[in-house]
Structure 1
């Protein structure tokens, strides 16, 4: 499993490097757009492309064109990450300054006219737009036949709209509004879970011509694993794992995000704990002491344990779905392994 996943990632990154070299954009006022794109596509785990290629393998043999088609999802992911960083005012991505921060710094060094921060946000948004166009081009020019691509496009379009709608809903995602756990999970499912696992799997399976029962089984598996992935992401966002996320561990708590673990804590807390949670979440700019207390309350209310149980439930459901699916043993083994990767955020 590990060797297969490493080989797929290496193949995806090689295809992306070839594509970016072929579509090189000359520096604009000394700013290398390609360098920003490489920061966002060259250092990730390539989960989305791996799942799309795995969907393909559930109905067809290994194929270089299929891998190339799947690799384009990393450019779509780069688009999403760049825009997400702008909207969240994130400072880091993959352990380095985020795109808008880098562009703003370049603006200041060159003493260009206008507001550096505004320039950085606008330039980063445009780089995201370029990545969005490149993503579709890489899929279209992958070498996959037209009939196979025709089966992919409706699902690809639906995924992109779902991603945007989920991101829009996330703009209103604030723990101070005290949304319910079901509502928060629905937003996370659209913005991250489905987009990371379910839709790529379905796209790959459709491209390979898998039958309806197989596509349905993969879709159900993808929904369960995608939710486990997002739940784990929420725990990492609250308790910190910069070596995994490349971002500060207190990002979600500091930005008052209504993540599943925070909302679960509000629902599980007794009156005293809930009052303290509400007060801490209302703090405009929580410092280290407030973040530490919030984390302690997430544990004390049982929210952290509750989310871990939800992850376990969804992982077990995914394994049951794989066991019942009419798939060859090698593919079932890979699906089981990828479920573990997403649930535990393994390297």
Structure 2
């Protein structure tokens, strides 16, 4: 990238408080873009092949983004804790969180063998295509897996670089780093529990909730809220309320994602439908359906939802979907999502955040869980 000489350590300059979470999301796109440009410059200085094949793909994946919900929740946490004035630090935090998300998705797609992400080929699929086009030797799948793991590692390294620079400039950097360290460990623990439960053929409801909490709820909502709050020197009461609100909202988000994974339209979700069923991932939806089938004596549903040795065909997936609905598990999960969303709003209200921030959080929860929560009691 000739002529580009920005670095991760280059200050943003003053950025006035965004008025809304949507403003923060738009602003973080600019921050993330500048950081990625700097990262690509450094990558080209290290090695042009690595920059072209790996760094460019990571940057493109991060720019393609999603809803940037984690950035919006970090902004809510900052504002709920009294954050105002220069928002540069919280925007850099948001960009770092988006890079952690990129790492998680790239690695998750490798582990799950998913072909599609954000409406485009998954990163490992793109590497396999590159291998074939270049007529390289060896199995394209082995190369693609290894290259995608390295791409995810680079995204995490960039996230750590940006978070470290933010923490070093902040008077609350130690608290920020403490939350960040927890986020990374929880994310890895959740991924491991996910593949462990899959390998063990587990159907336990409690285990499914543990995985949903570690793998998604914490790093999607709870930790972003706490990370944002740490930049505003939040007191213990506020952090506790935010973490409780975030855990409930994050669980509701994951339960909605489980439903979309089983029944969603790929054109709307940007990822294949039925992959979790094909791999028999232990989700709350699957665990509840299995328990209900066992209690009711529905042997057909128990067999359809249980572990099998042979690969699951489309017909088998259809049987699983039918069992999920027939047992009443879908309705149970929908009710749990609504319950968690309402509980999340009650916890957030304990922060005594300004009315605008209360409304913004309620809107984000609605967006995350795919429903409109009851706003009774939320100050307007």
Q: If the TM-score is normalised by the length of the shorter chain, which range does it land in?
A: over 0.9
- Aligned residue for 1:48? 70
Q: Does 2:334 match 1:334?
A: no
Q: Does 2:56 match 1:34?
A: yes
> In 2, distance between residues paired with 1:141 and 1:274?
57
Choose which of 3, 7, 16 in structure 1 pairs with 2:32: 16
- Aligned residue for 1:114? 138
Contact 1:261 1:304 in 2 (8 A): yes
> In 2, distance between residues paired with 1:223 and 1:282?
30
Change (3 A) 1:300 1:158: same
- Aligned residue for 1:291? 317
Instruction: Flag structure 1 segments of 5+ consecutive residues without an equivalent.
Output: none
Task: Report the number of matched residues.
Answer: 344
- Aligned residue for 2:378? none
> In 2, distance between residues paired with 1:147 and 1:274?
60
- Aligned residue for 2:8? none
Q: CA deviation at 1:32?
A: 5.5
Change (3 A) 1:296 1:279: closer
> In 2, distance between residues paired with 1:21 and 1:337?
32
Residue correspondence of structure 1 range 144-155 to structure 2 within 5 A? 145-155=169-179
CA offset digits 1:66-114 (Å, max 9, x no partner): 2122211100111111111111111111111111111111111111222
**Stretch of structure 1 that moved more, 58-67 or 48-57:** 58-67
Residue correspondence of structure 1 range 198-209 to structure 2 within 5 A? 198-209=222-233
> In 1, distance between residues paired with 2:148 and 2:200?
29
Choose which of 299, 303, 318 in structure 2 pairs with 1:278: 303
Contact 1:95 1:247 in 2 (8 A): yes
> In 2, distance between residues paired with 1:187 and 1:177?
14
**Stretch of structure 1 that moved more, 289-298 or 70-79:** 289-298
Q: CA deviation at 1:175?
A: 8.8
Contact 1:20 1:34 in 2 (8 A): no
Q: Does 2:339 match 1:317?
A: no
Contact 1:322 1:336 in 2 (8 A): no
- Aligned residue for 1:261? 285
- Aligned residue for 2:16? none
Residue correspondence of structure 1 range 190-269 to structure 2 within 5 A? 190-269=214-293
- Aligned residue for 1:7? 23
> In 1, distance between residues paired with 2:233 and 2:36?
29
Q: CA deviation at 1:170?
A: 0.7
Change (3 A) 1:243 1:279: closer
CA offset digits 1:117-175 (Å, max 9, x no partner): 11111111111111111001112334873422211111110110111011111112329
> In 2, distance between residues paired with 1:244 and 1:176?
32
CA offset digits 1:240-266 (Å, max 9, x no partner): 232443111111111111211111111
Instruction: Flag structure 2 segments of 5+ consecutive residues without an equivalent.
Output: 1-18, 373-380
> In 2, distance between residues paired with 1:243 and 1:38?
20
Q: CA deviation at 1:344?
A: 0.9
When the two structures are superposed, what TM-score results if normalisation uses the length of structure 1?
0.92
> In 1, distance between residues paired with 2:191 and 2:175?
26
